[in-house]
Amino acid sequence: MADNSPIRLVIHGGAGTIVRNKLTAEREQAYRQALTQSLIAGHAVLAAGGSSMDAVIASIVVMEDLPLFNAGKGAVFNHTGHNELEASIMEGATRMAGAVAGITTIRNPIRAAHAVMTKSAHVMLIGQGAETFAAEQGLEIVDPSYFYTQHRWDQLQKAIARESILRDHDTDPGTPLPDVNEKRGTVGAVALDCYGNLAAGTSTGGLTNKRYGRVGDSSIIGAGTYADNRSAAVSATGTGEMFIRTAAAFNTAAQVRLQHIPIAEAADNTLTEIAAIGGDGGLIVLDTSGNYAMRFNTSGMYHGTIGNDGIAWTGIFSETLAQITDSSAAFPPSQQT
């Protein structure tokens, strides 16, 4: 590995109406610490000469295991009071991909998505079949109660009472949910390894009070996740149905490859398309030169990045919108205030 080859990891922990003045210092710190932990885990892989794929998995597993995020432990409940999880992963060099959806017993859905990619002839497995496959591959299977958290349960009861379907970080437009600070989000990561290869992954519990069987963008290759060394690696968070309808992740990468549009502008174009049909959210994008963008049209998105120097940088609000960095630009501060 060439010492000067760029490595880069960019992550998100969900976008939505994160209200700045209701986010306590403690909660903000907890999120920043969690994001940093995820960044450091992925960076350790990249710095040791590991693959972008393994870095994406390492960083997402950290967030799946923390109840702060709506993925793995901490996933939201569907209408019938179950946690139905989904995830997807894609490799930019080969455009191989894997995904799982409608799963209730796999501790780390991102590992299952990776197993589908590497150990099966398929791209997507759902429900019982995905769970049987994951068990056969030796992945950790848990009782569905593993995913139960009181906070999520309370969130579901409120959503049912209001007949609303809530994205994780959203507050109901009517009466806000009691503690917006405790909203938690879908997670995603994009990585560039020292061999110049990209990877992307996304994992979620979906939307609170979603119909059973509902699948969002997070497990759909081209909607929530896409990676292609010829363009970019992309992971999305937001109103899943609109991200599916706009093929958001592929859409963004395709603008870069076919129209040579800069990555940040491509992400904004996609978000504008999504807004035009009533959706919102965010996108993280990374190319093989190490250029990256973290864009969102919601009030906030938990996000962060780390590169060769190993300094973890995290952000939540829109002040970071301007911080689109290319590989030659100054590195952002290690911790944003």
Size of site (CB under 6 A) for ligand ASP? 14
Distance CA 46, CA 310 (A): 10
Bridge-based pairing of strands 124-126 and 97-103 is: parallel
**Contacts (Cβ under 8 Å, ≥6 apart) of 326:** 289, 290, 291
219: closest CA among 195, 208, 203, 230? 203
What residues are paired with 8 via a beta bridge? 192, 307
**167 belongs to the binding site for ligand ASP (CB under 6 A):** yes
**84 belongs to the binding site for ligand ASP (CB under 6 A):** no
Q: What's the full length of the chain, in residues?
A: 337
Q: Which is nearer to ligand ASP, 85 or 254 (CB)?
A: 85
Q: Which is nearer to ligand ASP, 52 or 298 (CB)?
A: 298
Element holding 318 (H helix, E strand): none
Near ligand ASP by CB under 6 A: residue from 185, 279, 290, 315:
185
Q: Which is nearer to ligand ASP, 62 or 93 (CB)?
A: 62
**295 belongs to the binding site for ligand ASP (CB under 6 A):** no
Annotated catalytic residues are 186
Q: Which is nearer to ligand ASP, 212 or 331 (CB)?
A: 212
Whether 242 contacts 125, CB under 8 Å: no
**201 belongs to the binding site for ligand ASP (CB under 6 A):** no
Near ligand ASP by CB under 6 A: residue from 113, 117, 207, 264:
207
Near ligand ASP by CB under 6 A: residue from 206, 222, 290, 300:
206
Distance CA 114, CA 109 (A): 9
302 three-class SS: strand
Near ligand ASP by CB under 6 A: residue from 201, 240, 290, 304:
240
Near ligand ASP by CB under 6 A: residue from 186, 203, 208, 320:
186
